[in-house]
Amino acid sequence: MLDGKIKEVPYKELFTHTEKISVSGVDALEGYPNRDSLSYISLYGLEGISTMLRGTLRYEGFCRAWNVFVQLGYTDDETRIDTRNITYADLTESLLPLPFRGNNLPEDLAKFCREKSGSDTMKKIEWTGILSADKIPLQNATAAQILQNLLEKKWKLEEGDKDIIVMQHQFKIQNSAPSPRGRIENLISSLVVKGDNSIDTAMAKTVGLPLGIAAKLILADKVKGRGVMIPIQKEIYEPVLDELKNYKIVFEETNQ
């Protein structure tokens, strides 16, 4: 929802609709719209607002590279492919439209994606292995399954690797009465959590710790609600956020 109007982005164009996001202490980020933002309006009691966007953050350059997979068809999870005795390079070439198939696959792919041969984007793509002569280990799989299998190996955290979780909420608040900051107030709330190593990751902390804290609250009968609930009730999120401070998981807020 942008200025009161519903916006829909076709999947083929999704990774070209990005905006730069600044978070203190983190390298340049970009955000892209992800899934249905409108469902969160009623969920958080924000009926009547004019703009609502739920997005995903990635390091700058990720979306441009991922868009190569999208345009090529590597994210298709419906069509099954006979992959017997073919390489990743064979599959990639077969996904290229006929007019772009020549004698140099990296250059052909760059031309199809309107990228410069040898660019940072194309180096990222080549690193993934989709241009390699390695045999595809899967049979009768979709292109998306083949890409997933490949990236699960390439993106696996090795010893010494560290991950990072970044979340940011941006609010534009119109006050009914003038405040020290005027009638329009911009509130930015950011969370940055870094992993310690490949085992004690930021993902493990931000997923596991809130769950463990909530379980303790239930066992201590401090959560009165019953049934399947999402943690938007104060009796859940206030004590959970409070205890997370002990683990240095804290949202930093700034006003502009």
The verdict on residue 13 lying in a domain is no
Instruction: Write down the pLDDT at residue 146.
Output: 97
Average pLDDT over residues 242-254: 95
Instruction: Write down the pLDDT at residue 171.
Output: 93
Distances (CA, A) of 1 to 19, 71, 152, 172, 215: 16, 26, 34, 14, 36
Instruction: Write down the pLDDT at residue 179.
Output: 66
The answer to whether 240 and 231 are in contact (CB under 8 A) is yes
Distances (CA, A) of 140 to 130, 145, 149, 241: 17, 10, 13, 46
| Closest C-alpha to 147, from 69, 31, 49, 67 | 69
List the CATH number of the domain containing 128: 1.10.1870
The verdict on residue 136 lying in a domain is yes
Query: In the beta sheet, which residues pair with residue 243?
Result: none
The verdict on residue 73 lying in a domain is yes
164-203 pLDDT, tens per residue?
Answer: 999 999 999 888 776 666 678 899 999 999 999 999 999 9
Could you give the angle at the alpha carbon of 153 between the alpha carbons of 77 and 23, nearest 5°? 85
Instruction: Write down the pLDDT at residue 183.
Output: 79
Cα gap 217→56, rounded to integer Å: 30
The verdict on residue 4 lying in a domain is no
The verdict on residue 164 lying in a domain is no
The verdict on residue 47 lying in a domain is no
Instruction: Write down the pLDDT at residue 14.
Output: 95
134-157 pLDDT, tens per residue?
Answer: 999 999 999 999 999 999 999 999
Q: Quote the number of domains for the chain.
A: 1
pTM over 0.85: yes
> Residue 53: which pLDDT band, with cuts at 50, 70 and 90?
very high
Instruction: Write down the pLDDT at residue 229.
Output: 86
> Residue 114: which pLDDT band, with cuts at 50, 70 and 90?
very high
The verdict on residue 123 lying in a domain is yes
Residue at 78: amino acid letter? E
56-106 pLDDT, tens per residue?
Answer: 999 999 999 999 999 999 999 999 999 989 999 999 999 999 999 999 999
The verdict on residue 91 lying in a domain is yes
Average pLDDT over residues 155-160: 92
> Domain residues for 140?
63-154
